[in-house]
């Protein structure tokens, strides 16, 4: 379970809070879309989950752990339980697809045997088995994002954060990426999605949290994109 307990964040004295008095609970295996205009506080909310940003007030819990009180080693372990994907893919251009995904496993200390088994498995999950030896420049934008998803989930995280993952994609590739995210959620991973794409949110038909000026203004279990 993820729990934001009366959380606020002010980046500089005199500035308006980026998030203000947020209380939010996300249960295991939920699929939650977080929506709102630019500057609404969505990114700050996500950054607090893996301690890239610390709250000015309140606390963020991952399971029973207050993230703000974790020591460095425990924080590193927490981050391994959270996969992240972004709008710009962030693949390493000099490594092929196998190497891009294997790198995430190497950082986690996995053995060569585990890597050789896990990389093909996760590429099959995102439908890119035949691209295993290709380089990012040889892939379309949609294919690159699917590789990024594969890399994010190869360590079997409890939570997947998808921050505007379809922002650079056409409608067909957007649909493919959303279907993969839904499949990952069906397999037991909690998914937290931020997006400005109304069609994406409405097609998912699951929980929607709407933010405005740092506050949660709407939280619906089977919501639509309404701003």
Distance separating alpha carbons of residues 67 and 75, to the nearest angstrom:
7
Query: Within the chain, which residues score under 50 in pLDDT?
Result: none
Query: What is the reported pLDDT for 77?
Result: 87
Query: What is the reported pLDDT for 202?
Result: 92
The H-assigned helical ranges of the chain are 42-49, 72-80, 97-107, 112-125, 141-153, 171-186, 198-204
Distance separating alpha carbons of residues 175 and 202, to the nearest angstrom:
12
Query: What is the reported pLDDT for 49?
Result: 94
CB proximity list for 9: less than 8 A, separation 6 or greater: 17, 18, 19, 44, 48, 53, 54, 55, 56
Residues 33, 161 contacting (CB under 8 angstroms):
no
Query: What is the reported pLDDT for 54?
Result: 94
Distance separating alpha carbons of residues 42 and 34, to the nearest angstrom:
7
Other Cβ atoms less than 10 A from the Cβ of 156: the count is: 13
Q: What is the domain class of 2-220 according to CATH?
A: alpha beta
Query: What is the reported pLDDT for 223?
Result: 81
Query: What is the reported pLDDT for 99?
Result: 97
DSSP code of residue 169: -
Q: What is the pLDDT of residues 56-97, one digit of tens each?
A: 999 999 999 999 999 998 998 888 899 999 889 999 999 999
Taking the model in full, what pTM does it have?
0.92
User: What are the residue boundaries of the structural domains of the chain, listed by start?
Assistant: 2-220
Query: What is the reported pLDDT for 171?
Result: 92
How open is the CA angle 53-59-61, to the nearest 5 degrees?
95
Distance separating alpha carbons of residues 25 and 16, to the nearest angstrom:
24
Distance separating alpha carbons of residues 211 and 223, to the nearest angstrom:
13
Distance separating alpha carbons of residues 143 and 133, to the nearest angstrom:
13
Query: What is the reported pLDDT for 196?
Result: 87
End-to-end CA distance of the chain: 27
For tokens 């610390």, name the residue: 54
Distance separating alpha carbons of residues 15 and 24, to the nearest angstrom:
23
Query: What is the reported pLDDT for 59?
Result: 97
Cα 129 from chain centre = 23
Distance separating alpha carbons of residues 128 and 62, to the nearest angstrom:
32
Query: What is the reported pLDDT for 14?
Result: 84
């Amino acid at each position: 379970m993820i729990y934001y307990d009366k959380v606020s964040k002010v980046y500089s004295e005199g500035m308006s809070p980026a998030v203000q008095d947020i209380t939010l609970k996300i249960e295991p295996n939920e699929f939650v879309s977080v929506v709102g205009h630019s500057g609404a506080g969505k990114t700050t909310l996500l950054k607090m989950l893996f301690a890239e940003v610390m709250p000015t007030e309140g606390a963020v819990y991952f399971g029973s752990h207050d993230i703000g009180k974790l020591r460095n080693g425990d924080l590193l372990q927490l981050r391994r339980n959270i996969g992240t994907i972004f709008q710009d893919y962030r693949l390493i251009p000099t490594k092929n697809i196998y190497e891009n995904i294997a790198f995430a496993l190497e950082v986690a200390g996995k053995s060569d045997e585990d890597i050789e088994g896990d990389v093909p498995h996760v590429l099959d999950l995102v439908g890119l088995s035949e691209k295993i030896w290709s380089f990012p420049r040889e892939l379309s934008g949609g294919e690159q994002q699917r590789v990024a998803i594969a890399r994010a989930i190869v360590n079997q995280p409890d939570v997947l954060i998808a921050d505007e993952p379809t922002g650079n994609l056409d409608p067909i590739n957007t649909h493919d990426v959303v279907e993969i995210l839904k499949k990952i959620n069906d397999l037991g991973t909690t998914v937290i999605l931020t997006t400005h794409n109304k069609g994406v949110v409405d097609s998912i038909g699951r929980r929607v949290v709407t933010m405005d000026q740092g506050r949660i203004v709407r939280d619906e279990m089977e919501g639509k994109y309404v701003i």
